Amino acid sequence: MALTPEWLDELRARITLSGVIGRTLKLRRAGREWSACCPFHNEKTPSFTVSDEKGFYHCFGCGAHGDAIRWLTDQRGLAFMDAVQELAAQAGLEVPRPDPREAKRAEQQAGLHDVLAAAQEWFAGTLRGTEGAKARAYLQQRGLDAHTIERFGFGYAPDGRGALARALAPFDEVLLVEAGLRIAAEDRDPYDRFRDRLMLPIHDPRGRVIGFGGRILDHTRSDAPKYLNSPETPLFDKGRTLYNLHRAAAPARKAGRIVVVEGYMDVIALAAAGIEEVVAPMGTALTERQIELLWRQCDKPILCFDGDAAGRRAALRAAERVLPMLRPGCSLQFVALPAGMDPDDLVRSNGRGALDRLLGAPGSLLDLVWDHEREAAPLAGPEDKAGLKARLLAHVEAIADRDIAALYRREWLERFSAFAFPPRPARERSEWRGGSQGGRRPAPLALAPGSAERLAPGGSVVRDALGQAVMAGLARHPGEIARHAEALLGLAAASPALAAEVDRLLQLAETLEAGREAPISNANAVQLPPDAMRLSFLDDGGDTDEARADLAEAMALLVEKPALDAAIAAATARFDSDPEGAFADQQRLRERKLEFESRFGHMARKRAAEAAGEQN
């Protein structure tokens, strides 16, 4: 499918941007433009503008900016091609399909959409009729009101092998089977797949019905599964679908989070309680494709599975699945529910506030794996502890991103060392290790004779201001070098221009640890970044704890920067072969880069403001 720039320009020209945005956001005329409160962040005074003449929207508060395609991908969570196809349908344009087989496949899918929409209408009508009394009683027992029942499209499939076929008689039997509504058997006539079940439609990101989930109502039928989903069809792929994503996408963008629960009823119960940004997998372990769909909504989705053994196993499977996929800024977070409870139980018994508190403080992927492996087996002797270390390092090996793998390795090994080799009775530690004397942390060590000359960046070795600042900061605080040794080695491998400076820093740390040179005040000999860059760890004196904290933050940024640049370049390079995925990754990574630059700028501005206050 080739989308030329000319065709995309024609698409934008045929639609009215305010009309597209006005379907989901209330706009007010403001001169020749439109205004509204921004849907991407909370605000009371409108700073979001829409210009039909210029063809873009812009928020002066959070910087959100884009055209009609970007609106559908960012605000509604549609994939790039889904957004293009929806706009093309509104504009009366046909999306180019040079391959005849693709055109035939699209025509076939259109027929399946029609039959599934008709089935959903029939299921919903049956629920309202006399046959749906049992299903309505169950919904009332679950505490679901009429608004929720209608909003989520609840229906009822009556008992009987041919009720649906009679109701959808205008559609060919082959189409009903292909849509997953009927089952064709060699030795008998086709029969309805869903019988005597409470029905829920499953939608794609554009809100079209692509399948169904049916819950059994007769609990005496031990031979039947509690939940039954549609089979794999040309429209429905369980591993690529998240239940409720089409409703959750916009609230997730606004809330800055998306919550993943185990089942349909958990999603519906939380939505009824006012937590809208909730989705669920299709009764299977979370897949790589589903994780990618979640990352399009936010960088760190929250997994909130049931508080039982099965829920813990599901969380661990998701953790193992995501480790090879980790990339800068993107991970998973986890919430541990009370034992034996699911999200619906917690909200019913303790109210929404109880779940909000848990969702407000989720655990990290790193913590989840560490806790699991530490508790996986008894740790009675050295062999058991060695097994724990081996399991942790095996997880590190699964991480494809080198920088992230190095950071995970360092963090887990630090925890392992603290756990396996607890501190012995207090003893004097070498000053460069950052030990305390008299209950106070020592001041940063000055450089020994000759060290400054070795560390001073020469010529064009360190051109990057951030790299230059970190190298100079570690030279002024050599007690911090060991703390960042593994990250420094990773930088040297990824950025050869920094290798010489890293080597000199590590030599300095070894020299000071051995006590071969007495520190003297010679730090001023170290070459500093430009005067405009004011950072706490480059100042003489000052708050040592603040300097260490800022230095650690700057070090983290320095590690992230090359990985982020490489990821952006990779996303751009594959745009021709994967426009949908490349577009989503490119936008997310650019936002991440803006956040990155903002964090570094904030550090410098904060110190500049403090310095100005001191001068006044």
The predicted pLDDT at position 100 comes to 58
Q: At residue 321, does pLDDT exceed 90?
A: yes
Of the CATH numbers 3.60.130.10, 3.30.565.10, 3.40.50.620, 3.90.980.10, which one belongs to the domain with range 100-236? 3.90.980.10
State residue 431's pLDDT score.
37
What is the structure's pLDDT at 432?
A: 35
* For range 506-516, the mean pLDDT: 69
pLDDT (average), residues 471-479: 82
Q: Which long-range contacts (CB under 8 A, 24 or more apart) does 289-295 make?
A: 289/239, 289/240, 290/239, 290/240, 290/241, 290/242, 291/318, 291/321, 291/322, 291/325, 291/332, 292/325, 292/581, 293/240, 293/242, 293/245, 294/242, 294/258, 294/260, 295/330, 295/588
Least confident of 173-182, 274-283, 442-451, 513-522: 442-451
pLDDT for residue 433: 38
Predicted confidence (pLDDT) per residue in 193-249, tens digit: 999 999 999 998 888 999 999 999 876 666 678 889 999 998 999 998 999 998 998
Percent of the chain with pLDDT over 90: 30
Residue 439 scores a pLDDT above 60: no
Between 99 and 409, the higher pLDDT residue? 409
Mean pLDDT to the nearest integer, 441-454: 42
pLDDT tens digits, one per residue of 325-334:
999 889 999 9
555-586 as b/e, with b when 16 or more CB fall inside 10 Å?
bebbbbbbbbeebbeebeeeeeeebbbbbbbb
Predicted pLDDT at 307? 84
**CA 492 – CA 324 distance, rounded (Å):** 23
Which residue type does 110 have? Answer: A
Considering only residues 588 and 452, tell me which one the structure prediction assigns the higher pLDDT.
588
CB atoms within 10 A of CB 105: 13
* β-bridge pairing 333-334 and 302-303: parallel
State mean pLDDT over 407-434: 66
Please, are residues 212 and 258 in contact by the beta-carbon 8 Å criterion? no
Task: Say how far apart CA 524 and CA 505 lie, in whole Å.
Answer: 16
pLDDT band at 452 (very low <50, low <70, confident <90, very high): very low
pLDDT beyond 90 at 43: no
Segment among 101-105, 402-406, 494-498, 586-590 with least mean pLDDT:
101-105
Residue 342 is predicted with a pLDDT of 86
pLDDT at 496 over 80: no
CATH topology of domain 254-370: Dna Topoisomerase Vi A Subunit; Chain: A, domain 2 (3.40.1360)
pLDDT of residue 222: 65
Q: What is the CATH architecture assignment of 5-91?
A: Alpha-Beta Complex (3.90)
Rounded to an integer, the average pLDDT of 474-480 is 82
Measuring CA to CA, how many Å separate 573 from each of 209, 264, 411, 581?
Answer: 34, 38, 33, 12
Higher pLDDT, residue 573 or 336 = 336
State the maximum Cα–Cα separation within the chain, in Å, rounded to a whole number. 93
pTM (predicted TM-score) = 0.60
The b-or-e profile of 523-536 (16+ CB within 10 A means b, else e) is bebbebbeeebbbb
- Is residue 183 helix, strand or coil? strand
- The predicted structure's pLDDT at residue 599: 63
pLDDT band at 437 (very low <50, low <70, confident <90, very high): very low
Using DSSP's 3-state secondary structure scheme, residue 203 falls into strand
Would you state the pLDDT for residue 127?
95
**Residue 11: what pLDDT?**
86
pLDDT at 255 over 90: no
Give yes or no for residue 388 having a pLDDT over 70. Answer: yes
Band (448; pLDDT cuts 50, 70, 90) = very low
Confidence at residue 41, expressed as pLDDT on a 0 to 100 scale: 81
In this structure, how many other beta carbons lie within 10 angstroms of the beta carbon of residue 171?
18
Expressed in percent and rounded to 5, the helix, strand and coil fractions of the chain are 55, 10, 35
- The pLDDT > 70 percentage for the chain reads 79
The mean-pLDDT minimum among 287-291, 383-387, 575-579 falls in 575-579
pLDDT tens track for 557-614? 777 777 777 777 777 777 777 776 677 777 777 777 676 666 666 666 555 555 555 5
Q: In the prediction, which pLDDT does 95 show?
A: 82
| Chain CA centroid to CA 596, Å | 17
Of 78-82, 156-160, 240-244, 335-339, the range with the lowest mean pLDDT is: 78-82
